[in-house]
Amino acid sequence: MRYLTAGESHGPQLTTIIEGLPSQLPLTAELINKELKRRQGGHGRGRRMQIETDTVEILSGVRHGSTLGSPVALVVTNDDWKHWTKIMGAEPLEEDINPEDIKRQISRPRPGHADLVGGMKYGHRDLRNVLERSSARETTVRVAVGAVAKAFLAELGISIVSHVTEIGGIIANPESTAGKSVAEIRAIIEEDACYCADSEASAEMVEAIDEAKKAGDSIGGVVEVIVEGLPAGIGSYVHYDRKLDAKLASAMLSINAFKGVEFGLGFEMAHRKGSEVHDEIIWSEEDGYTRSSNRLGGLEGGMTTGMPIVVRGVMKPIPTLYKPLQSVDIETKEPFKASVERSDSCAVPAASVVAEHAIAWEIANAIMEHFHSDQLPQLKEQLAAHKQYTKEF
């Protein structure tokens, strides 16, 4: 499967086309909108989340609530577009209008953003041409794509959840999720302001976010995604670009402001001996092959082991600060304090939702690569047969 997205932060809409979905997958706009709403939530979000509510329109590839097997086109309209029609319009400027007279041009790059190097790469003197696309607004439609992937995975008995494990140095107690299923974790975090399973840590996170906002600063954190229900053997060891953990790492780091990724024990493995890292293999007639632990996060040799996948990503603090950092005007070369677009003081809770959907897409794609079916009922049969095969191996 594959997809492309298009659209600018203050353009008329965000668009995606998904190709390769099997037919007969139940799919509705309501299902996708539920996930878009989650992305707009979480403590620390900025003013834009208050001025528009993201909803999707399904334009093709679905009839009467079921996919056809043809490309699925989704659109999310930007409600704020009405205020930007002249600034962001696609039509050429009239001859008597000087491009320099267009409002909201940007010649002052913000540290930590794509502004300066993006302008260099594409030759844009007005850096708005960079920030409009590099903005995290694009993740809206990526969540829509991931919502479709989650619907697909749910039909196959595969479930996924994300939660926040750290914000601003405040770390959730790992015991808050230990032994809990994806469904149990989701029931907890969807009632929490920071999408965190540890209520005491969450309360401290809220205070830290509020303090950062008062100080004109921002804070980052860590999110964790857990996937249950995958059989063993999805992915491959034979080539670097077929390893599932590599694909999941790429998906996580493709999210705006994400700078690190780890699986299972992650970087903690550097401090442990091999006997304290690797998961011993056990077998039972009821379950087949399993592991006595899940320190490697459900992946060995680039393939699933049948244990839950556990992957974490670290998000840097948002670089758009109300306490701005120094930069240089590209026209005058004079130093200045960086300008402020609308911003969040902390987007880690919302980013956890984006991470969940980015990972969901890669898992769904890996399933389709493994089983090669154009119809969902056939795919279910193939998956069931594969699970039986690996159990009896």
Which of 371, 383, 314, 315 lies closest to 344, judged by CA?
315
The CA-based angle 252-253-254, given to 5 degrees, is 90
CB atoms under 10 Å from CB of 34, counted, come to 11
Annotated binding site: 39, 45, 133-135, 256-257, 301, 316-320, 342
Closest residue by Cα to residue 62 from 72, 54, 52, 53: 72
Per the listing, tokens 């509020």 go with 210
**248 within 8 A of 362, measured Cβ to Cβ:** yes
Q: What pTM did the predictor assign?
A: 0.95
Q: How far apart are alpha carbons 253 and 245 in whole angstroms?
A: 12
Q: How many CA atoms lie within 13 A of 92 on its CB side?
A: 3
Model confidence pLDDT, tens digit, residues 101-112: 677 889 999 899
* Distance (Å, whole) CA 26 – CA 38: 21
Report pLDDT for 161: 98
Q: Which domains, and CATH codes, for the chain? A: 2-392 (3.60.150.10)
CA dist 379 and 373 (Å) reads: 6
**Tokens at residue 47, please?**
């003013």
Do the bridges between strand 62-63 and strand 66-67 make them parallel or antiparallel, or are there none, so unpaired?
A: antiparallel
- Closest residue by Cα to residue 8 from 106, 144, 131, 99: 131
**What's the farthest any 2 CA atoms get from each other in the chain?**
80
What CA–CA distance (Å, rounded) separates 218 from 208? Answer: 10
Instruction: Return phi, psi of residue 88, to 5°.
Output: -115, 15
Dist. CA 43–CA 351, nearest whole Å: 12
| Strand partners of residue 318 | none
pLDDT in tens, the chain (393 residues): 999 999 999 999 999 999 999 999 999 999 999 999 999 999 976 655 556 789 999 999 999 999 999 999 999 999 989 989 988 999 888 777 776 667 788 999 989 999 999 999 999 999 999 999 999 999 999 999 999 999 999 999 999 999 999 999 999 999 999 999 999 999 999 999 999 999 999 999 999 999 998 988 899 999 999 999 999 999 999 999 999 999 999 999 999 999 999 999 999 999 999 999 999 999 999 999 999 999 999 999 999 999 999 999 999 998 877 777 899 999 999 998 865 655 678 999 999 999 999 999 999 999 999 998 999 999 999 999 999 999 999
Residue 291 belongs to what H/E stretch?
strand 288-291
pLDDT at position 100 is 67
Q: Under 8 Å CB-to-CB from 285, ≥6 apart: which residues? A: none
pLDDT of the residue at 323: 74
Give SS3 for 215. Answer: coil
- Do 369 and 233 touch, CB atoms closer than 8 A? no
Per the annotation, binding residues for NADP(+) are 39, 45
CA-based radius of gyration for the chain: 22
Known binding positions for FMN? 133-135, 256-257, 301, 316-320, 342
Place of tokens 């399933």: 367
Q: Is residue 72 within 8 Å of 148, Cβ to Cβ?
A: yes
Q: How many CB atoms lie within 10 A of CB 293?
A: 13
Q: Are 23 and 68 in contact (CB under 8 A)?
A: yes
Question: What pLDDT, on the 0 to 100 scale, is given for residue 150?
Answer: 98
Secondary structure (3-state) at 377: helix
Q: At what angle do helices 348-371 and 376-392 cross, to 10 degrees?
A: 80
Element housing 252 (H / E)? helix 244-253
Beta strands 170-171 and 258-263, pairing class: unpaired
CA-to-CA separations, 272 to 86, 268, 278, 295, in angstroms, rounded: 59, 7, 10, 11
**Separation CA 35–CA 148 (nearest Å):** 10
